[in-house]
Structure 1
Amino acid sequence: MLNFNKVPLNIEDEDSDNSSFYLAIADLMSGVLMVFALLFITTLLQLQEAKEQLSQQRRIFVGELVGHLKGNEIDVKVNEETGEVSVREAILFDEGSAQLKPEGKAELSKFIPLYSQIIFSNPDFEREISRVIIEGHTSSKGSYETNMELSLMRSLAVTRYIFSEELQFPNKPELTPKIMAAGRGEIEAEPEYDNPSDRKVVFRFQFRGENPISENP
């Protein structure tokens, strides 16, 4: 006959071992989570610091750009917040045309070398400005398709002039790889209103990591 009084009962010891095991796992998981939390916080701080440095570089560049352009007789409009430079359509092209006028070339021959000079005057500007986007814009007069095509053809005409032998300036070999042409059509124009100020060519710089599509109205 089996005597249950003589059978060793180690249930309490097994429970104690299991509790120690689970506590060790919990401590390990807490440590892992703590490491991930610290890494996450460190990454956020680094991203914030990089964003602040980018904003500072943008402010410095825009300040330099505004200061230089105001000191020269160049018929352009500068957005003092974004650094976008607008050239009126009437200076560059005849109505409905994508062929640069002589006076348009003359204005670009004054503006482009100065714009390039500012970009390459500072190693930080040169390194961080990845693109100079030349955007064609139209008013809402005419069809969407026609305006989109015309705006692209005009941005390409300006780009081709910069690339051509007609225009020479010291930093041309460094600037040309950064240039990108874009047609914006009537996207930013006032709807159903033929506003002459909507018809323009815009020079916009893009820092590394930024969206190449302008979000400014």
Structure 2
Amino acid sequence: MDDFIRGEIDAEIIEDDDSSIYLSIGDLMSGLLMFFALLFITALLQLAEKDVPKRVVIGNVVGQMKSNNINVKVNPETGDVSIQESILFAKGSTELKPEGKAFLRRFIPVYSGVIFSKPEFEQEISRVVIEGHTSSDGDDKTNLQLSLLRSSSVYNYIFYDMNFPTKAPLSQKILAAGRGEIESDNKRDNPGDRKVLFRFQFRSDELKKDIVKTSL
């Protein structure tokens, strides 16, 4: 009888020990989940904070384009400024039209002026890329070459034929690139795809990528 009672007591002790183990593991898992949740929230807050300078820059670009009556499309999320082919070039040409040159003489001083209007803007924008884009009409190689020659024509006109107050510092940030038909509608020849983009590369975007990497 004593052995039976002792066996029951031992079984209860083992069950209590098992419960304690399960409870400890559960507490550990809950703690880990809470830790990663806090880490995730912290990363989100850091990302939101890093986004503020970028949005201020974009807002200023939009405002200055409107106040100076410069007819361009500005992407409110990225700050990309889109200039249609018809403004700058004849179809299939890499030579700037007189109207295109006149447009750049109005646009560039204002655009560059925003970048260097405040030290924090200048610091936030690590690079400006002049991108040539084509529609899907024609072959890939020809379109890529056309887009690069067009962006180069814009670059050369800005820095060899124009004078404006922020020309020197802008030359340190800007480069020309050809994208060809990479971002075009491949189902049809869309005139809207033939354009030149002025695209910002933001320092905060680079920092955001680093934050995401370290939080994973």
Query: Normalised by the size of structure 1, how large is the TM-score?
Result: 0.73
CA gap of 1:73–1:148, structure 2 versus 1, over 3 A, is same
User: What corresponds to 1:121 in structure 2?
Assistant: 117
User: What corresponds to 1:188 in structure 2?
Assistant: 183
Q: Residue by residue, what CA displacement relative to the aligned partner does 1:152-210 show, whole Å, maximum 9, x if unpaired? A: 1101111111111x211111111111001110100111013111100000001111264
CA distance in 2, matches of 1:80, 1:45: 26
- Is the Cα–Cα contact under 8 Å of residues 51 and 204 in structure 2 kept in the other structure? no
What amino acid is aligned across from residue 80 of structure 1 in structure 2? P
Equivalences for residues 173-184 of structure 1 within 5 A: 173-184=168-179
The equivalent position to 1:54 in structure 2, one of 46, 50, 53, is 50
Secondary structure (helix, strand or coil) at the match of 1:87 reads: strand
Q: Residue by residue, what CA displacement relative to the aligned partner does 1:54-96 show, whole Å, maximum 9, x if unpaired? A: 3101111111111110112222111122111011111111111
What amino acid is aligned across from residue 184 of structure 2 in structure 1? A
Show structure 1 runs of 5+ residues with no match: 1-39, 212-217
User: What corresponds to 2:134 in structure 1?
Assistant: 138
- Is the Cα–Cα contact under 8 Å of residues 124 and 204 in structure 2 kept in the other structure? no
Show structure 2 runs of 5+ residues with no match: 1-35, 207-216
CA gap of 1:98–1:55, structure 2 versus 1, over 3 A, is same
What amino acid is aligned across from residue 177 of structure 2 in structure 1? A
CA distance in 2, matches of 1:120, 1:209: 17
The higher radius of gyration belongs to 1
Query: Normalised by the size of structure 2, how large is the TM-score?
Result: 0.73
Which structure's residues are more often helix, by fraction? Answer: 2
What amino acid is aligned across from residue 75 of structure 1 in structure 2? N
CA distance in 2, matches of 1:95, 1:135: 17
CA distance in 2, matches of 1:169, 1:58: 24
CA gap of 1:145–1:65, structure 2 versus 1, over 3 A, is same
Give 1:138 deviation, angstroms: 0.3
Aligned length: 171
User: What corresponds to 2:196 in structure 1?
Assistant: 201
User: What corresponds to 1:78 in structure 2?
Assistant: 74
CA distance in 1, matches of 2:204, 2:58: 18
CA distance in 2, matches of 1:126, 1:154: 26
Q: Is 1:162 equivalent to 2:155 in the alignment?
A: no
Q: Is 1:96 equivalent to 2:92 in the alignment?
A: yes
What amino acid is aligned across from residue 193 of structure 2 in structure 1? D
CA distance in 1, matches of 2:187, 2:44: 42
CA gap of 1:130–1:43, structure 2 versus 1, over 3 A, is farther
What amino acid is aligned across from residue 126 of structure 2 in structure 1? S
Secondary structure (helix, strand or coil) at the match of 1:60 reads: helix
- Is the Cα–Cα contact under 8 Å of residues 75 and 107 in structure 1 kept in the other structure? no
CA distance in 2, matches of 1:167, 1:194: 33
What amino acid is aligned across from residue 60 of structure 2 in structure 1? E
User: What corresponds to 1:66 in structure 2?
Assistant: 62
Return structure 1 stretches of 4+ with deviation > 4 angstroms.
40-50
CA distance in 2, matches of 1:86, 1:124: 24
Q: Residue by residue, what CA displacement relative to the aligned partner does 1:18-71 show, whole Å, maximum 9, x if unpaired? A: xxxxxxxxxxxxxxxxxxxxxx99998886565333310111111111111011
What amino acid is aligned across from residue 201 of structure 2 in structure 1? Q
